[in-house]
Amino acid sequence: MTAAPPSILPEIEPEPNTVIDRLVISLFIIVPLLAVVAAVPVAWQFGLSWRNVVIAFAFYLVSGLGISMGFHRHFTHGSFKAARPLRLGLGIAGSLALEGPLLVWVADHRRHHKYSDRIGDPHSPWRFGTGAGAVARGFLWAHIGWMLDRSRTSQRRFCPDLQADSTASWVSRTFSVWAAVSLLAPALIGGLWTMSLPGALAAFFWAGLVRVALLHSVTWSVNSVCHLFGRREFQSRDMSTNNAWLAIPSFGESWHNLHHADPTCARHGVLRGQIDICARVTRWAELLGLASDVRWPDEQRLRQKMTTVAQGRRFTGMTSGRLACSRAHAGRRASKPLAP
């Protein structure tokens, strides 16, 4: 029997999330948040060592880039092709963020783009209307409430390409393993570094629970804040905005207005001064031969989408035309004979 094409499959799975599924999701959300609430009294009572800061920063960097560069730009939007070691590494790193299995994350995000800020969007803050009370309720829904919804986005409809991909499907199936690694590896490192049980428990608290909570909050803010407040520098069919204050902790994801104006673009912060750490790391991967077919910003095309808010702003040097010129120039320099 011939399988039905994805375009005619239902977008929502007929079987909703079970009570157990929702309980597990709630634990992943609530427990790290409780750790943040306890962070101040714990730091006051026991202090915060530089070792735990280092471990937490390292895990935040790896898991945050795994979400932004891996789950989002590579797997969801195909902003670049990745060699298998990088593709596997990005999938595992994104799983360490504890934001759900890879295929679940991608399916939800692709549905978000299809219906952005319209009926069908799983996490639009405009879901309940435009009044003050409706927007406040919508903010909470977009920030955290939507994850407790019983409905499940169909993976067969929104990511059949990843279902057929051995690397992506394996990473998604083994999510529970990477979730355990995300929480227990910091404890192991902290324990070995200090050779003590208190050192292991402190690293579990700061680099495990608190780090996950902070990364969750930043990711959720892209869903909520970046569809409510900020600058609209490019034309898009939704209410997405750019927010500079979230740029560094989100690795460049908060240049969200540009992302919705050009979803497959590998760089979201395309204007001068817009820091995009994820794009810079992608450029390094490209230079190392680990990333290819990178979809860098097309300055000429994007200039046509600029709003009056961005008029007069200059584009960053990391655009497709300039990168191509720099590669050609580097090639000419390499082929130039050495002076006698």
Which token pair is 54?
A: 């280092």
Cβ-based neighbour number of residue 36 at 10 Å: 15
> Which parts of the chain sit beneath pLDDT 70?
1-7, 321-340
Alpha carbons 154 and 6: distance in angstroms, whole number: 10
**Which pLDDT score, from 0 to 100, does residue 112 have?**
97
Predicted confidence at residue 5, as pLDDT, reads: 62
Return the SS3 of 315: strand
> Pick from 186, 212, 199, 185: which is nearest to 49 by CA?
199
**pLDDT, position 323:** 62
Residue 17 half-sphere exposure toward CB, CA atoms < 13 A = 17
pLDDT at position 1, please? Answer: 41
Q: Looking at residue 322, what is its pLDDT?
A: 60
pLDDT for 2 equals 46
pLDDT at 337: 33
Q: What is the pLDDT of residues 231-280, one digit of tens each?
A: 999 999 999 999 999 999 999 999 999 999 999 999 999 999 999 999 99
Go through 298-323 and write b for each residue having 16 or more CB atoms within 10 A of its CB, e for each that does not: beeebeeebeeebeeeebbebbbeeb
Q: CA 109 to CA 113: how far, in whole Å?
A: 6
Beta strand spans in the chain (E): 81-82, 291-292
Q: Are 61 and 67 in contact, with CB atoms under 8 Å apart?
A: no
In 3-state terms the chain splits into helix, strand, coil percentages (rounded to 5) of 60, 5, 35
Question: What does the alpha-carbon distance between residue 205 and residue 97 come to, in Å, rounded to a whole number?
Answer: 15
Q: What whole-number distance in Å separates Cα of residue 340 and Cα of residue 337?
A: 9
Note the pTM of the prediction, 2 decimals.
0.91
